Every structure is written in structure tokens, then in C-alpha cells.
Amino acid sequence: MRTIIFADLDGTILEENYSFHEIKPTIMRLLSLNVAIVFCSSKTRSEIEFYRKEMDINDPFISENGAAIFVPSDYFGQNQSYAKRTKPYDIIELGVPYSAIRMAFEKVRENCGCEIVGFGDMTAKELAENSGLTIDLAILAKQREYTEPFRIKEGQEEKVFDAIRKEHLSCIKGGKYYHLTWNHDKAKATIILKNLYAQKLGELVTIGVGDQLNDLEMLQVVDKPFLVRGNKLLLVWENILKTALG
């Protein structure tokens, strides 16, 4: 049976300083066992591509909290239907374009009576200073296609949520930011990708690993969920490796 791991990035693979060196040997071992590692993150396509290249991972990935699934061309063969076919990827889109999300964000800002700041309001330098990202990674984080991360500088959280509901959108709370999204989540995208793998491979084992509230729904739709708490990141991945080894 093929093992498929659906993994969040921040706090799950990446450490506080956005490094992954501590668990890189475990990742390399899993890849050597022909385990597929699917990043399922709030990060953008560009950010995820950066880490896939760094770790030499070539499996599909899920961006921006389930907004889109990017499948390397012909990964599952030609007999699948996708929203878009490009040279590098076959794409399944569950979100709406970033321009529409930004328009809604402006309405939320006008109506909530709070001071909120989104990634689209910040320069790459400002985002780097606020998030701890390097300038290069902040540039990638601003290349958004479907969602808008933001923070509440002043005002009540519930007023912001009320304004978001009036726009018929959703809000997901991540580790450092809130995320304004369409009606999608990591679980919906995970289920779609699980089904594609099952059609190609038959019986398989799915593992999920995350560390935040926005990962819980994803963890509920896999066979073997792992939740990273505190400083147990390396221990969790060692247990995932043991699970993959059977």
C-alpha cells in the first residue's frame, strides 16, 4: 500500500525561524520509501514551490488553506478533469480570484469599525518585519491567488467576523494571522486529492500532520492523524516515519 502524507508547513515542518533542517533527514527517509508528501498549507503556490524544491519533493500540493490543488502534469494520467491545465500543473480550484477577495476585504474594513491590515496593504519589507520572514520569502508570500491573510491592529474580533459573514465569506485563524477565504478548507481539498490517489493506486494509507485549528478538519479526513504540540515536532515526525515503515 502506498502511503500519502498531507502535511502543513508552518509549525509542522518549518520551525519558528522557517527552517526545516531538524526534520530534513526524516523527510528524506520518507521520500526514499516512496512516500508521497503533499504540502497542505495556508502558504501561496510560490512559497510552497520554494520548499518543494528545497526538499526535492515532486508530489501534488494544496495552497492557501485548500483554495487550489496543484498536480504535476500527467501525475494521475490524462483521463482526469481539471479546472486548468498548464505546462507545470493540472489545477483544481476551490477558491475565487484574489482580486475578488481583496474587494471583499475592503468592504469588511469599511463595515467592521476596526483597524485591520492585510498582506495586500504591506510592502514586502513591512511583511518581513511583521512576520519574521526573509525579504525573499515575504515577496513569495505576497504572491497571493485566492486568500488574504490579515491581522487586527485595533478593534474587536467579533465585529470583524460579523462583517466577514455579511460578505458571505469565511475566516480561518492560523498561527500568526487570520485568513479571509472563500467556501473552502484543507479538508475538502484533501478529500479530492485522496480520491485521485485512490483511483490511481487503489488501496492506500493516508497520514495527516498539522499544528493549528485550521488543520483539524484535514486531520479528521485521513487514516492516521498527528498533531504537533509544543516542541514535539521532531518526535511527531519520528512517529510518522515508524508508521510509514509499518
Is there a single domain that holds both residue 75 and residue 105?
Answer: no
Give all strands of the β-sheet with 148-154 in edge-to-edge order.
115-118, 148-154, 178-181, 170-173
Residue 230, classified by CB atoms within 10 Å of its CB into exposed (0-12), middle (13-18) or buried (19+), is exposed
Tens digit of each residue's pLDDT (9 = 90 or more) over 16-31: 889 899 899 999 999 9
Exposed / middle / buried, residue 161 (Cβ in 10 Å: 0-12, 13-18, 19+): middle
Catalytic residue among 8, 10, 185, 211: 8
| E-assigned strand segments in 89-177 | 89-93, 115-118, 148-154, 170-173
Q: Rounded to whole angstroms, what are the CA distances from 174 to 22, 76, 127, 159?
A: 23, 31, 16, 18
The Cα 98–Cα 12 span in angstroms is: 26
* C-alpha cell at position 242: 515508524
Structural domain range at position 214? 2-95+185-245
Tens digits of residue pLDDT in 38-47:
999 999 999 9
| Domain boundary, last residue among 138, 161, 181 | 181
**Residue 239: C-alpha distances to residues 15, 24, 101, 220 (Å):** 18, 15, 39, 18
Same domain assignment for residues 20 and 91: yes
Q: Give the number of other Cβ atoms within 10 Å of residue 226's Cβ.
A: 22
191 shares its domain with 73: yes
Residues 129-188 pLDDT 10s: 999 999 999 999 999 999 999 999 999 999 999 999 999 999 998 888 999 999 999 999
Domain check: are 189 and 91 in the same one?
yes
> Do residues 36 and 109 share a domain?
no
Residues 196 and 80 reside in one and the same domain: yes
The answer to whether residue 79 scores a pLDDT higher than 70 is no
Q: Is 172 helix (H, G, I), strand (E, B) or coil?
A: strand
What pLDDT was estimated at residue 85? 79
Regarding whether 91 and 202 lie in a shared domain, the answer is yes
- Tell me: pLDDT of 80 over 70: no
How far is Cα 220 from Cα 200, in angstroms, rounded to an integer? 23
Indicate whether 57 and 159 sit together in one domain: no
CA distance 47 to 139: 9
Closest to 122 in 3D by CA, of 153, 154, 88: 153
Q: For residue 77, what pLDDT is reported?
A: 79
- For residues 222 and 208, the answer to whether their CB atoms sit within 8 Å is yes
User: Is residue 198 domain-shared with residue 241, that is, in the same domain?
Assistant: yes
Tens digit of pLDDT for each residue in 198-212?
999 999 999 999 998
Q: How far is Cα 18 from Cα 204, in angstroms, rounded to an integer?
A: 31
Mean pLDDT of the chain: 94
8 is catalytic: yes
Q: Distance between CA atoms of 238 and 243, rounded to whole angstroms?
A: 9
Residue 77 CB contacts under 8 Å (≥ 6 apart), including other chains: 200
Is 122's pLDDT higher than 70? yes
CATH of the domain at 237: 3.40.50.1000
Q: Which of 181, 204, 236 is the last residue of a domain?
A: 181
Number of domains into which the chain is organized: 2
Residue 207 neighbours by CB under 8 Å, 6+ apart: 3, 4, 5, 6, 222, 223, 224, 225, 226, 240, 243, 244
Same domain, 118 and 225: no
Q: Which of 157, 181, 205 is the last residue of a domain?
A: 181
